[in-house]
Amino acid sequence: MKPLSDIAAERGVLSGICQYGQDSFLDVADIIKSNTFTIDYNQIIFSCLESICKDGDNPTIDVASVYSVGEEKGLNNIMSRPEFLEHLNSLFRFPVSESNVRKLAAKIRKLEIARLLRNQLKEAGDSLLQLDGNETITQILGIAENSIFDFSSLLHDSENEPKRISTGLLDYVTFLGENQVDQIGLPTGFPEYDKAIGGGLRKGTINIIGARSGVGKSIISTNIGYHISSEHNIPVLFMDTEMTYEDHLHRLLAMASDTLINKIETGKFLDNPSIHRRVMYTVNKIESGKVPYDHKSIAGMPFEEQLAIMRRWIIKRVGLDNEGKANPCVIVYDYIKLMNSQDITGNMAEFQALGFMMSSLHNFTVRYGMPIMAFVQLNRDGLNKESSDVASGSDRIVWLCSNFTIFKEKSDEEIAQDGRENGNRKLVTVKQRHGPGMEYGNYINCYMNGSKAQITEGKTKFQLLNTNE
């Protein structure tokens, strides 16, 4: 009988962690545990590697560090065996590609599931042997059915069965009443926008803002990301497809310190004491750890590698709760597009590749229960139209998002009607699964100061009309 294990795959996973360090561990930490391995030595080594990788930032992994952790765990008797030392040393020499470590981990996880299911079915078989023939057919079939239905509890996965709406209804409504909140999701710093999309950025959602090139996608994305991290101390990862770390940092410092970008870039903020104080206040605030904001330039990077970075960031920086979901955090993705021609393979067209990216991001948010704030380019129709069909590249971008909002320049007529003091940009929410959205013809007034990378939200058009009346 073929064993439900793959010794080579187990060795490959451990070797990947030993040779490539914490990044490889973070790649697999969400799908395997020590019990996933079938060899006792492998279970012990993974347990030690897990302790090493969780205790520090980019720790050194070598034979000595593994042995040190093993001693702390009281495993001296096992780890002192010559065959254990030989096995451990071999892991640092075993050839394995870093890109294959997660694939191998997924393989041994599936084999673990198969072993668990086999044991579950064996227990059902033992129960069947105890029957005496006086049972009903339903009772006999129930032994096998219950064995399968109860199996999901062994996987620690979320419940997949349909749920009667009355189940726990009173308790849930009571909980809501006793745990009132002002807003369901995370605030973006734009209250009218939060209201339109249903109370901020909700767990497991993709929130899309689309704009034409040069209108200010990067500026509004920076404003939202910095507000969430600095005002609410919630970790933010900014995935940047266009700007370098330095360029992004210049904009962020200018925005946060109310300083011209040019003054930051040239260092001339030092010439004015008042500006210098504002900049240094912002720098000290960020360096104090009160702004958990991370930036990653992903220009030209394959999409699968981007997902790996996001996954590592959640596991390493944010952490998972008891249900395997991410602690409160936000990923800002600026912006969804194909990085290079390699993203289009075989007969896959551009719109299909973009659809695949959007599907993967959607699955990611659901898997980890956290929101993504993403941005897209609008096609030429976005110059005049304000509907959900102006997203450039793929309809699936709009299909899979929880809300879609257009960010664009106001026309001369709109500026004249609203007054210049009420902004030069507008936000128009045209699709939402939660919240009221916006009435036809209404929009949120915004003022963008590009020289300081700042965007402030004003009143809606209808609010201004009511005030004037």
pLDDT in tens, 179-197: 998 889 999 999 999 999 9
Q: Which of 51-65, 86-100, 251-265 has the lowest mean pLDDT?
A: 51-65
What average pLDDT does the segment 33-58 reach? 90
Q: What contacts 86, CB < 8 A, 6 or more positions away? A: none
Arithmetic mean of pLDDT over the chain: 87
pLDDT over threshold 60, residue 1: no
Q: Which of 32-46, 110-124, 233-247 has the lowest mean pLDDT?
A: 110-124
Give the pLDDT confidence score for residue 253 in this predicted structure.
97
pLDDT over threshold 70, residue 159: no
Give the pLDDT confidence score for residue 459 in this predicted structure.
95
- Amino acid of residue 324: G
Q: Which of 63-67, 86-90, 347-351 has the lowest mean pLDDT?
A: 347-351
pLDDT digits (tens, 9 = 90+) for 40-49: 999 999 999 9
Q: Which of 239-248, 252-261, 390-399 has the lowest mean pLDDT?
A: 390-399
Closest CA to 1 of 131, 135, 122, 143: 122
pLDDT over threshold 70, residue 349: no
Give the pLDDT confidence score for residue 142 in this predicted structure.
67
pLDDT over threshold 70, residue 25: yes
Give the pLDDT confidence score for residue 140 in this predicted structure.
77
Q: Residue 113 — pLDDT band, cuts 50, 70, 90?
A: confident
Closest CA to 16 of 55, 69, 53: 53
Give the pLDDT confidence score for residue 344 in this predicted structure.
42
Selected residue with higher pLDDT from 306 and 346? 306
pLDDT over threshold 80, residue 163: no
- Amino acid of residue 437: G
What average pLDDT does the segment 349-375 reach? 86
Q: Residue 378 — pLDDT band, cuts 50, 70, 90?
A: confident
Q: Residue 90 — pLDDT band, cuts 50, 70, 90?
A: very high
pLDDT digits (tens, 9 = 90+) for 389-429: 556 555 677 888 999 999 999 999 999 999 999 999 999 99
Three-state SS string over the chain comes to: CCCCCCHHHHHHHHHHHHHHCHHHHHHHCCCCCHHHCCCHHHHHHHHHHHHHHHHCCCCCCCHHHHHHHHHHCCCHHHHCCHHHHHHHHHHCCCCCCHHHHHHHHHHHHHHHHHHHHHHHHHHHHHHHCCCCCCCCHHHHHHHHHHHHHCCHHHHCCCCCCCCCCCCCHHHHHHHHHHCCCCCCCECCCCHHHHHHCCCCECCCCEEEEEECCCCCHHHHHHHHHHHHHHHHCCCEEEEECCCCHHHHHHHHHHHHHCCCHHHHHHCHHHHCHHHHHHHHHHHHHHHHHHCCEEEEECCCCCHHHHHHHHHHHHHHHHCECCCCCECCCEEEEECCCCCCHHHCCCCCCHHHHHHHHHHHHHHHHHHHCCCEEEEEEECHHHHCCCCHHHECCCCHHHHCCCEEEEEEECCHHHHHHHCHHHCCEEEEEEEECCCCCCCCCCCEEEEEEHHHCEEEEEEEHHHHHHHHC
Domains and CATH numbers, the chain: 1-157 (1.10.860.10), 191-468 (3.40.50.300)
> Which residues, in sequence order, are bridge partners of residue 445?
426
Selected residue with higher pLDDT from 399 and 9? 9
> What is the pTM (predicted TM-score) of this model?
0.75
Q: Which tokens in the block code for residue 435?
A: 């919240």
Give the pLDDT confidence score for residue 343 in this predicted structure.
47
Q: Residue 4 — pLDDT band, cuts 50, 70, 90?
A: confident
Give the pLDDT confidence score for residue 167 in this predicted structure.
86
Give the pLDDT confidence score for residue 2 in this predicted structure.
57
